[in-house]
Amino acid sequence: MSDAEIVCERRGSVGAILLNRPKALNALTLGMVREMARALDAWEGDPGITRIVVTGAGDRAFCAGGDIRKLYEAGRAGDITPSLTFWREEYILNVRIRSYPKPYISLIDGIVMGGGVGVSLHGSHRVAGDRYSFAMPEVGIGFFPDVGGMYALARLPGEMGTYLALTGARIGPDDAAALGLATHRVPSERMAALEEALVAGEPVDGVLAASSRPVADAPLLAHSDVIARCFGASSPLAILAALDADGSDFAAETAATIRKKAPSSVAIAFEQIRRAPAMSFEDTMAAEYRIVSRIAEGHDFYEGVRATIIDKDGAPRWQPARLEDLDPGFAASHFEPLPGRELRDPV
């Protein structure tokens, strides 16, 4: 296997992209983002390439996010420019993937989080293997669900997206297929043959249909009534009150989970998911860039990464420590324009 952190090559009819940092759970770097963008540009006009296939190296992760440690280190050194460059180019890539004119197929048989969601969820086909594990866990590190994930979560039925955004909960392949986050559910042992059939140029939809199996047990859906009722409330505090009043073990565990997250992140994520249904995908990404530009100048992201990834003490000191102490206009302020620094502005 190549030592390159990403491998983009032609394989028969496929433009093949291999995320190749298995020891880092294939976390994205700026170099990987740029190489993906370059390859997609080159392949769009190549008639010999009829579909894109994206995979992750190793058997643990498709892609577990961005390289958070590098972003943390740059910010702690007092220079957020490298981080903003990464996020800008990553978000532009997410928009590119959503509008790509050829079938864009992600074969996901492992962890898919954060940036991994951004390079898979917006493509035309998302194939979930047995090891598939989806989450947008950003509220646990003082960040927010970005890479366009909120556009999709806001459109899930029954407040499922609000639940996933505010808890960072992981779901497996059958829940993902039932919710539409995955378009196909394929057993892991069929993945290699599926990929080879795509390389051979067989019709994309036919190959995927033939390889798929019906959705089996979708455990999250067992709690759909509680989620719809409690997460439809008018604010994060109202959601917590509804969960506290519910009385079920699931509601109590869910409320306890939310209370451990960064209050600032929970508020921003809630604001995102309430705004997103009225926004285009492009406008959602522009809003995310406004948010991330402000978070990069704040406290909680660096504190969350410190507690989770750097020191690993599991004891973040959020500012503020409680949702009740947030300024009422805090979340909305993150969506305000950034004159001269918008995602669509020239660099």
pLDDT, one tens digit per residue, over 109-162 is 999 999 999 999 999 999 999 999 999 999 999 999 999 999 999 999 999 999
Cα 289 → chain centroid = 15
Q: Choose the catalytic residue: 56, 66, 114, 304.
A: 66
Q: Is 66 a known active-site residue? A: yes
Nearest to 121 by CA among 137, 110, 100, 105: 105
Do residues 112 and 54 lie in contact, with contact meaning Cβ atoms separated by under 8 Å?
Answer: no
Cα 244 → chain centroid = 28
Q: Choose the catalytic residue: 67, 90, 109, 146.
A: 146
Q: What is the pLDDT of residue 216?
A: 85
Give the integer Cα–Cα distance in Å for 297 and 292. 9
Q: What is the pLDDT of residue 67?
A: 86
**Helix (H/G/I), strand (E/B), else coil: 119:** coil
Q: Is 46 a known active-site residue? A: no
- Tell me: pLDDT of 326 over 90: yes
Give the integer Cα–Cα distance in Å for 182 and 141. 25
- Tell me: pLDDT of 1 over 80: no
Do residues 114 and 134 lie in contact, with contact meaning Cβ atoms separated by under 8 Å?
Answer: no
Q: Is 15 a known active-site residue? A: no
Q: Is 115 a known active-site residue? A: yes
Q: How far are the Cα atoms of 4, 55, 154 from residue 10, in angstroms, in the given order?
A: 16, 14, 35
Q: What is the dihedral of CA 112, 115, 120, 123, to 10 degrees?
A: 160
Looking at the chain, which runs of residues are DSSP E strands? 6-11, 14-19, 51-56, 61-63, 104-108, 111-113, 125-128, 133-135, 184-185
**β-sheet with 104-108: strand ranges across:** 6-11, 14-19, 51-56, 104-108, 125-128, 184-185
Determine whether 52 is exposed, middle or buried from the number of CB atoms within 10 Å of its CB (0-12, 13-18, 19+).
buried
| Mean pLDDT, residues 24-49 | 97
347: confidence class by pLDDT, cuts 50, 70, 90:
confident
Q: Choose the catalytic residue: 138, 288, 300, 303.
A: 138
| Mean pLDDT, residues 253-277 | 98
- Tell me: pLDDT of 48 over 90: yes
Q: What is the dihedral of CA 36, 41, 45, 51, to 10 degrees?
A: 30
| Mean pLDDT, residues 281-301 | 97
The percent of residues above 90 in pLDDT, for the chain, comes to 95
Q: Choose the catalytic residue: 15, 75, 114, 115.
A: 115
Give the integer Cα–Cα distance in Å for 199 and 18. 14
- Tell me: pLDDT of 226 over 70: yes
Domains of the chain: 6-333 (3.90.226.10)
